[in-house]
Amino acid sequence: MSISWNPWHGCCKISEGCRNCYVYRQDSRHDKDSREVRQTAMFDRPIRRSRDGRFKVPAGEMVYTCFTSDFLLEEADDWRAEAWEMMRIRHDLRFMFFTKRIDRLAAALPPDWGEGYENVIIGCTVENQTMADYRLPLFLATPVRHRIIVCAPLLGPLDITQYLTSGIEEVSAGGESGNEARPCDYAWVLALREQCVSADIPFCFHQTGARLLKDGRLYRIPRRYQHSQARKAGVNYKTR
């Protein structure tokens, strides 16, 4: 089972992968400015209790964290310590967040982090080779117990072979969604898969994106089919 937890909402674009951000797209439909970062009404969701004193979020859930912002966003510095504390208190839950700001992680960790909280999974997002070569060395140099590499939106061919160490639990790849989506070449996806197979690291093709280029033909894929079509490709790899 899984739930979402967005303790704050809004973000500022910092790289090419942010250009067609889905949060901006969704907010624009309601005339909201995504650059206005604010704490949400669900800030304390993990530790809310029912009348009988039990936590409302039951043990064992996967909590997808901060997917309408970035957990390491500078504008959220005043709130992050409390968010870390909720993760520590709810050690019976698993928390996962993705970030394009991995260069802020080391300075933003809680005092008792050590080698990482056992119940926290961090995904470092990279969209092109430049960002991979900048972010992934920082990611690998920072103590994290559970780490994944998220190649999305995949905007070009990637060679991440040198970063596929035993500490990487999965590589996930996906194209860009939205009407303005840039094409994702299926050959880039397959190349990443081969790198993962060679390193014996799990690989997941999680989303085709709105425009998938395959064998020289451009396919336009409606949003509702982008995850299912990626699964149907049958290229996910699980380690032995």
The pLDDT tens digits of the residues spanning 57-101 come to: 999 999 999 999 999 999 999 999 999 999 999 999 999 999 999
Parallel, antiparallel or unpaired: strands 94-99 and 184-185: unpaired
CA distance 46 to 187: 40
With b meaning 16 or more CB within 10 Å and e meaning fewer, what string describes 66-87? bbbbbbbbebbeeebeebbebb
Contact predicate 144/122, CB 8 Å: yes
Q: Kindly list the domain boundaries of the chain, sorted by start residue.
A: 2-232
Contact predicate 185/240, CB 8 Å: no
Q: What are phi and psi of 133, to 5 degrees?
A: -75, -20
Of 161, 226, 229, 228, nearest to 193 by C-alpha is 161
What's the pLDDT score for residue 239?
87
Neighbours of 206 (CB within 10 A): 16
What's the pLDDT score for residue 193?
98
Cβ neighbours for 4, distance < 8 A, ≥ 6 positions apart: 63, 64, 65, 67
Tell me which residue has tokens 């912002």. Answer: 69
The pLDDT tens digits of the residues spanning 164-185 come to: 998 999 999 999 999 999 999 9
The pLDDT tens digits of the residues spanning 14-47 come to: 999 999 999 999 999 999 999 999 999 999 999 9
The CATH classification number of 2-232 equals 3.20.20
Q: What is the DSSP string of 173-232?
A: EE---STTPPPEEHHHHHHHHHHHHHHT--EEEEE--SEEEETTEEEE--GGGHHHHHHH
